[in-house]
Chains A and B, each alone.
Chain A
Amino acid sequence: MRLGVPQIALAVLLLSSPPAVAAPQTHVVVIDKMKFGAVPASVRVGDRILWVNKDMFRHTATAKDGSFNVDLPPGAKGTSIVRKAGALLVNCRYHPAMRATLKVSA
């Protein structure tokens, strides 16, 4: 079958559909043994971060820019939404030496 112009145009459109229109993703960051675990490599504005506290201690995931502050008692989970591109610094209010940096792209 020969493809007409409209079919080719559609195929090109589907193949090249830009990531900016991709649905928001949820990334998991595990907190355990007084540390933030590995952070996702690719975070985009609008994505969610699911913070999972596997530690025996109460923690928080607190954005330095004030955009979110998730209280995480032992065993708790909580979600925050990333609103801004750039380096997002996160720490625990109770344990200031616990830090993570997320690189967020637009």
Chain B
Amino acid sequence: MSAKSSLLAAAAAFAITIVAAPVLADNGPSDAEIAHIAYTAGALDVTAAKQALAKSHNAEVRSFAEVMVRDHDAVNDQALALVKKLGVTPADNATSQALSKQASATHDRLAKLDGAAFDRAYAQNEAAYHQAVNGALKTTLIPSADNGELKSLLETGLTLFGEHQQHAEQLAKKL
């Protein structure tokens, strides 16, 4: 499978995971579920970045991974502060679980790779993952959010994920 088609396949898998999960049916997820999904999406990307920092020797890959850890930790800190302020308890749901399951499979797949093969797979997966989360933010999470502050934080998240996606695509092209 070519790099491009494996990237597309990964993006499609994520898209199906996010869109098809039952929690998104009918009226869309509640704010408590949205908060959980958004937090989970960020935390999973931090975990993926830590795997890259443990395995990769490529300076650009490491620098990208450091940015992922810092940015997603920053936005998740804000998310935690917001749910505390609003008195909302993030609610686990099928979408969060599907994301975690998929990320765990990716983690295991990447664990078997080393060197340039790992770097390429990590960067491609990052591009696909951010693209899929962007899609979910745009089509489901942001439109379904009732609280204005949560919606605004998700919009910042969308801008962040959008930039990360471009960054990952550029990185993947170079590797």
- Are A57 and B166 touching (Cβ within 8 A)? no
Return the contact of B74 from the options A35, A56, A97 (Cβ within 8 A): A56
- Are B167 and A35 touching (Cβ within 8 A)? no
- Are A98 and B163 touching (Cβ within 8 A)? yes
- Check A33/B167 contact, CB under 8 A, given A56-B74, A57-B70, A95-B67: no
- Are A34 and B156 touching (Cβ within 8 A)? yes
Main secondary structure of the interface of B (DSSP, over half): helix
Residues of A within 8 A of B75 (CB): 56-57
User: Is the C-beta of B98 less than 8 angstroms from some C-beta in chain A?
Assistant: no
Nearest chain-B residue to A74 (Cβ)?
A: B74
User: Is the C-beta of A18 less than 8 angstroms from some C-beta in chain B?
Assistant: no
Number of B interface residues at 8 Å Cβ cutoff, please give it: 16
User: Is the C-beta of A58 less than 8 angstroms from some C-beta in chain B?
Assistant: yes
Q: In the complex, A98→B160 CA distance in Å?
A: 10
A-contact bits for B83-111, CB 8 A (1 contact / 0 none) = 00000000000000000000000000000
User: Is the C-beta of B139 less than 8 angstroms from some C-beta in chain A?
Assistant: no
Q: In the complex, A59→B162 CA distance in Å?
A: 16
Main secondary structure of the interface of A (DSSP, over half): loop
B54: min CB distance to chain A, Å: 21
Nearest chain-B residue to A96 (Cβ)?
A: B167
User: Is the C-beta of B159 less than 8 angstroms from some C-beta in chain A?
Assistant: yes
Residues of B within 8 A of A95 (CB): 67, 163, 167
B-contact bits for A82-106, CB 8 A (1 contact / 0 none) = 0000000000001111100000000
Binding site for B on A (CB under 8 A): 33-35, 56-58, 74, 94-98
Binding site for A on B (CB under 8 A): 67, 70-71, 74-75, 77-78, 155-156, 159-160, 162-163, 166-167, 170
Supply 15 A–B pairs (Cβ within 8 Å), ascending by A.
A33-B159, A34-B156, A34-B160, A56-B78, A56-B156, A57-B70, A57-B71, A94-B67, A94-B70, A95-B67, A95-B163, A96-B166, A97-B162, A97-B163, A97-B166
